[in-house]
Amino acid sequence: MIRNPILRGFYPDPSICRVGEDYYLATSSFSYFPGVPVFHSRDLCRWERLGYALDRPEQLHVTYEDISGGIFAPTIRWHDGLFYMITTNMTTHENFFVTASDPAGPWSDPVVIEAAGGIDPSLFWDDDGRVYYIGTAPWNDPRFDHPMIVCSEIDLSTGQLTGELWGIGDGAAKNAESPEGPHLYKKDGWCYLLIAEGGTQHNHAVTISRSRDLHGPFEQCPFNPVLTHRHLGKNYPICNVGHADLVECQDGSWYAVCLGTRLVDGYHKLLGRETFLLPVEWEDGWPVFSPGTGRVERNYPAPAFAKEAETGIETPTDLAADGKIGQDWNWLGTPYEDFVRVEGERVAIRMLRTNLVPWEFEGEQFDFFGHMQKIGRTRDCMPFLGRRLGEAAFAAEVTMAAEFRNRESAGMVILQNNAHQLRLEGLAAEDGNVRFRVVKVVYQLKDGKMHYEESTVGEILLPAAGTWRLCMEGRDNRYRFAVRADGEGAWRTVAEDVDGTHLGSEAAGGFVGAYVGLFATGNGADSPNEAVFADFILREER
C-alpha cells in the first residue's frame, strides 16, 4: 500500500528517477545542513534515507539568517552510470550540480553553471545525446519580459551553457503566477514540459505542454492543470498540491511525486510541504494524474511490481551514535565551527553568542529578494540541532545538563520559519535556582519592516541540580511543556494549552515546516559553557 505522504514532514519539491528496479528521490532543504536528503526505494511504498547530496561545508554555504533561503528545488537524474543532482542555492545565488556514482555518496564538489540565473534547474538528455539545462528565466534579464521557463544546451564537463537561453513556456494560465519547477521528458516522439505554477501556496498547480521540437512551439494540455487542489476549498485536508516529477516504472506504469500540505485543526500548516506519490496513466498523448479522482489520495494500491517487505520503512535515528550526529538531525546553517561535541550517545552544544531570534534584522525594511541579497555573508553558527516534525500529535523528551550564568539559556524548541517558535528553556535565576520558562516568538511585518515579538507564557523555578528532564507535547495546535529534576518522578508543568497556531506556514510564511530541536546560546555573548543532551525521544501519532 502507498500511504501518503510517503515522506512525512518538511520534504518539499520532490524529484524522482529510476535506475533499473531502484528508485531515488531528493527534496529541498533550504537553509538546513546537510542539504538535499536522498532516499531509496524498490517498491515506491517504503523509503529509506541514504544520506545527503550536500554534506560537506565546501559543498554548501547556507546561513541561519533566513531559513527559507538556501537550497531550492533539486532535480535528481541518472545517465550513463552517473547520478546528477542539480539545484539552486539562494544564499549564494548560484545554480550548480553535483555528481556521484553511488547516490549514498560521496557526491562531488559543486559545478557552478555560469549565466544560468533564475531558480529550479533541471537536466534533460535528448535521444541524440545532447544535454539541456531547463530553469526559470534569469531575473532582470531584458531578453525575458515576464516570468517563463528557459532552456539551453549545456556542456556537463565544464558546467557552462553552450548557447543562448530561449523560452519554452510560461504556464497554462494567462499571466500565470510563478511558472517554475520545470522538468522535460521524451515520450512517443514528443517533448513534454511539466511545470508548477500558481505559487506554492493554496493556488499551486501542475501543468504540462508538449512539442515535437525543443524549440517549440509547445502546445498546452487541453485539460490543464493536470493536478491541483485549489478548487477543493480551504477545508480539504490536503492543500498546496503542486511541483511534480514523473517516473516510468520497469513494468511500463507511471507515477508522479508532488508536494502537498496536510492541514492541522483548521487552515493551519504546521508540518510544511511534504512528499506525496500518485499513479499516472497516459490517454490520448497526455498524462492523467490519479485516474478516477484527479486528486491526491491518502492511500493507493501498491504497484504491481512491489514485493512484501522489500525494504524497511524509514525509522527515526538516535540523536547520536558511534560518535556521530544521527542522520535525521540537521544544523541551521553550515556548521563552520566545532560547537557540537559528541560523546557516545550524548551531544554537547557550546553556548555561542548567536540567538535563535535574528534580532539583527529588527526594524529593517523587508522585501523578499532584497532580503535574499543581504543574507549569506556571515559564517557565524547557530547553536541548534533539530529534526523535522512529521506529525502534529507528538511528544518529545530529552535529558539536559547545564550550568547557567549571566544570559545563557538552553533547552528545547519547536521552530518554524524565521523565528516563529515556542521554546522551553532554562536560564539563571537571581537566587541561585534555575528558571524554566516557555517563550513564544512571533515574527511580524509592520509598515513593511521586520519585527520580532517575544513573550513568556509560563515559568517555574527549580533547584540548580545540574540535570533535568524536559518534555514538550503537541496535539494539533495546542502545546504543553513540563520539566523535572532528573531522577524525580513528578513532572512540573511550565505551561499548558499554549496556542501554537502561529507555527503554521500560513502565519509564519516561508517555505519550510516545523522542526523540533535542541539549543544552547549565550544570547549575544560567547560562552565556553555547554549544554549536554542525551536520551532524546520523539513519539509521533499517525
Residues assigned a catalytic role: 13, 180
Count CB neighbours of 36 within 10 A: 25
Task: Tell me the C-alpha distance between 475 and 415, whole Å.
Answer: 16
Give the DSSP H/E element, type plus range, for residue 136: strand 131-136
Report helix, strand or coil for 373: helix
Question: Cis (ω within 30 of 0) for the bond into 225?
Answer: yes
What's phi and psi for 460, nearest 5 deg?
Answer: -145, 165
Report helix, strand or coil for 165: coil
Give the DSSP H/E element, type plus range, for residue 505: helix 505-508
Beta-bridge partners for 154: 161
Report helix, strand or coil for 95: strand
Q: Running DSSP on this structure, what letter comes out for residue 140?
A: T
Question: What one-letter code names the amino acid at 71?
Answer: I
Task: Tell me the C-alpha distance between 512 and 68, whole Å.
Answer: 6
228: Cα within 13 Å, side-chain hemisphere? 24
CB 242 within 8 A of CB 189: no
End-to-end CA distance of the chain: 16
CB 210 within 8 A of CB 226: no
Cβ neighbourhood burial of 313 (10 Å; 0-12, 13-18, 19+): exposed
Nine-digit cell string for 494: 511550565
Q: Are strands 478-485 and 492-499 parallel, antiparallel or unpaired?
A: antiparallel
Residues 124, 128, 132, CA angle at the centre, nearest 5°? 25
CB 161 within 8 A of CB 95: no
Task: Tell me the C-alpha distance between 198 and 180, whole Å.
Answer: 9
CB 232 within 8 A of CB 245: no
Give the DSSP H/E element, type plus range, for residue 98: strand 94-100
Task: Tell me the C-alpha distance between 139 and 368, whole Å.
Answer: 13
Task: Tell me the C-alpha distance between 68 and 31, whole Å.
Answer: 6
CB 103 within 8 A of CB 40: yes
